[in-house]
Amino acid sequence: MDSTNLALLEAELRRDEDVRYVPYLDTSAVPKRTVGVGHNMDASPLPAGWVFPLTDAQVTQLLGMDLQATFSALDRNLPWWHQMDPVRQRVICNCCFNMGIGTLLTFHNTLGAMQRGAYAVAAAGLKASKWYGQVGARAQRLCRAMETGVMPVAAGVA
């Protein structure tokens, strides 16, 4: 992913996940302690010595670490994701960041459609999922972007 696309992904995740400087309990699916930009503290504890509230630099560092983990999971399991255009790369990264690679991999037909370039079919698969009903506006944006190749612009995201 090039630096421009990475910057757009980071901005989109900051919008979609929100930025939190103190922990909160994310109860969207399985309750988990969360901080920063959707960082799951239960799955990945903070570095030793960090105190709350986090600084902007710490939030950015956590986001960078979480994105590297997301990219690595996609590379291991779905190496073809790099062949998609930049918008659709951000969609699959955003989905993986949000639901985790384990859940993403259960979308067999949707992922097959993405790999074939059947993006309308892939978007329909995402829309038909339980995730779509749970995530709301984020899911609607990501499905539109998967189908059209254009990410809808939202406030705070260039």
**CATH, residue 10:** 1.10.530.40
Amino acid at 114: M
Question: Per the structure, how many domains does the chain have?
Answer: 1
CA torsion angle for 151, 118, 108, 7 (degrees, to 10)? -20
Using CA atoms, how far residue 14 sits from 35, 38, 61, 130, 147, in Å, is 12, 8, 13, 23, 22
* ∠ Cα 141 117 153 (to 5°): 20
Is 153 inside a domain boundary?
A: no
Decide if pLDDT at 111 tops 50: yes
> Looking at the domain assignment, is residue 156 inside a domain?
no
Q: How far apart are CA 46 and CA 54, in angstroms?
A: 10
Residue 154 domain-assigned?
A: no
Domain for residue 111, yes or no? yes
Residue 143 CA to residue 11 CA, distance in Å, equals: 18
Domain that holds residue 130: 3-47+54-148
Confidence of residue 29 (pLDDT cuts 50, 70, 90): low
How much is the mean pLDDT over the chain? 94
Residue 155: inside a domain? no
The proportion of the chain whose per-residue pLDDT surpasses 90, expressed as a percent, equals 90
| pLDDT category of residue 158 using cuts at 50, 70 and 90 | very low
Per-residue pLDDT reduced to its tens digit, 86-106 = 999 999 999 999 999 999 999
Q: Which residues face 24 on adjacent strands?
A: 34
